[in-house]
């Protein structure tokens, strides 16, 4: 077993401009556990060119939220379903590594499939549920859809001590124009559950609302494409974004996980509220080869 301690002297002092510590683990094959004192985990590590060449070891609670309002043609909606099916095909669904909830919305919100650890989801049954989605062809209640995702996550997302990333991907062609909850407050409810929101705006839309819904940094978590046909071309890009989304965990508990051979996992520590400094302690067992741990600071301006 190897032990790594990122100690108080390596963390930013109270009142400094550093806001996050970013960290990722790359393993030839390994098992790790870690404990964070006086900190919370948040955020994202990305943009290293070497990481782009490697497969990631994603463990996700994933919400696919699709707009089926009347502004979409039948062809558009089918292409949206095909793109979601392709995303699911490229995820590690088996063994409960990725659990999927599917939310279809227009004026009303319908949950077509939702995850539980006992549901034994497979790629085939999730893709089947996607293809069975009906287009509701009414107004657009994006806020209600996000609030429904928050309600489900509050009871069904896996606990923080399992170090599971939480992600919602929203596909829509326009601004919300109905519903009980406005889109931006609805998004905040979901963010309060430590869910990273990635928004995909399609067609000639005003990006303001979708950029506000997206988790920061917006440049990383908002995508605009010209039409639904182009969406299929972005499947690999979206899949990559899911890989790069970190796990949020609570403090002063020990977390356990595994990294498959040649893959990596992401974490990020929010140090903005540190009062007396803090530590991150990582123990890892290399079952083959070696484990690499890297970290850096993000400055919030």
Looking at the fold, whether 100 and 216 belong to one and the same domain comes out as yes
Looking at the fold, whether 217 and 252 belong to one and the same domain comes out as no
CA atoms within 13 A on the CB side of 67: 27
Looking at the fold, whether 114 and 221 belong to one and the same domain comes out as yes
Other C-beta atoms lying within 10 Å of the C-beta of residue 132:
12
For 113, residues 6+ apart whose C-beta sits below 8 A from its C-beta are: 100, 101, 102, 121, 125, 126, 129
Looking at the fold, whether 8 and 97 belong to one and the same domain comes out as no
Looking at the fold, whether 139 and 48 belong to one and the same domain comes out as no
Looking at the fold, whether 220 and 78 belong to one and the same domain comes out as yes
CA atoms within 13 A on the CB side of 52: 6
- pTM for the whole structure: 0.80
What mean pLDDT value characterizes the chain? 78
Q: Which domain holds residue 281?
A: 2-56+246-299
Question: What pLDDT band is residue 90 in, cutting at 50, 70 and 90?
Answer: confident
- The pLDDT tens digits of the residues spanning 146-197 come to 999 999 999 999 887 788 899 999 999 988 999 999 999 999 999 999 899 9
Looking at the fold, whether 123 and 199 belong to one and the same domain comes out as yes
Looking at the fold, whether 229 and 184 belong to one and the same domain comes out as yes
Last residue of a domain, one of 243, 269, 291: 243
Q: What is the CATH number of the domain that holds 64?
A: 3.40.50.410
Looking at the fold, whether 76 and 177 belong to one and the same domain comes out as yes
- The pLDDT tens digits of the residues spanning 46-81 come to 333 444 444 566 789 999 999 999 999 999 999 999
How many structural domains does the chain have?
2
Last residue of a domain, one of 217, 243, 269: 243
Q: Report the side by side order of strands in the sheet with 254-259.
A: 2-6, 279-286, 30-37, 254-259
Looking at the fold, whether 16 and 109 belong to one and the same domain comes out as no
């Amino acid at each position: 077993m190897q032990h790594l301690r990122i100690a108080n002297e390596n963390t930013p002092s109270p009142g400094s401009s550093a806001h996050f510590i970013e960290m990722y683990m790359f393993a030839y094959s390994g098992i790790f556990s870690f404990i964070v004192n006086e900190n919370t985990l948040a955020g994202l590590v990305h943009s290293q060119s070497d990481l782009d060449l490697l497969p990631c070891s994603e463990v996700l609670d994933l919400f696919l939220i699709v707009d089926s309002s009347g502004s979409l043609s039948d062809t558009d909606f089918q292409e949206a379903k095909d793109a979601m099916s392709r995303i699911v095909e490229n995820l590690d669904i088996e063994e409960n590594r990725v659990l999927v909830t599917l939310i279809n919305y227009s004026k009303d919100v319908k949950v077509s499939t939702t995850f539980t650890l006992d549901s034994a989801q497979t790629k085939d049954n999730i893709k089947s549920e996607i293809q069975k989605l009906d287009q509701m062809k009414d107004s657009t209640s994006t806020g209600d859809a996000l609030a429904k995702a928050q309600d489900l996550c509050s009871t069904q997302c896996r606990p923080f001590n399992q170090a599971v990333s939480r992600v919602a991907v929203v596909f829509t062609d326009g601004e919300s124009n109905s519903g009980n909850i406005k889109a931006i407050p609805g998004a905040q409810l979901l963010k309060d559950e430590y869910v990273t929101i990635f928004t995909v705006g399609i067609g000639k839309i005003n990006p303001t609302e979708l950029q506000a819904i997206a988790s920061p940094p917006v440049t990383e978590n908002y995508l605009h494409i010209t039409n639904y046909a182009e969406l299929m071309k972005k499947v690999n890009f979206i899949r990559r974004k899911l890989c790069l989304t970190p796990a949020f965990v609570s403090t002063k508990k020990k977390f356990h996980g595994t990294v498959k051979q040649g893959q990596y996992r992401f974490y990020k520590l929010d140090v903005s509220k540190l009062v007396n400094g803090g530590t991150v302690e990582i123990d890892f067992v290399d079952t083959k080869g070696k484990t690499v741990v890297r970290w850096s600071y993000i400055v919030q301006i």
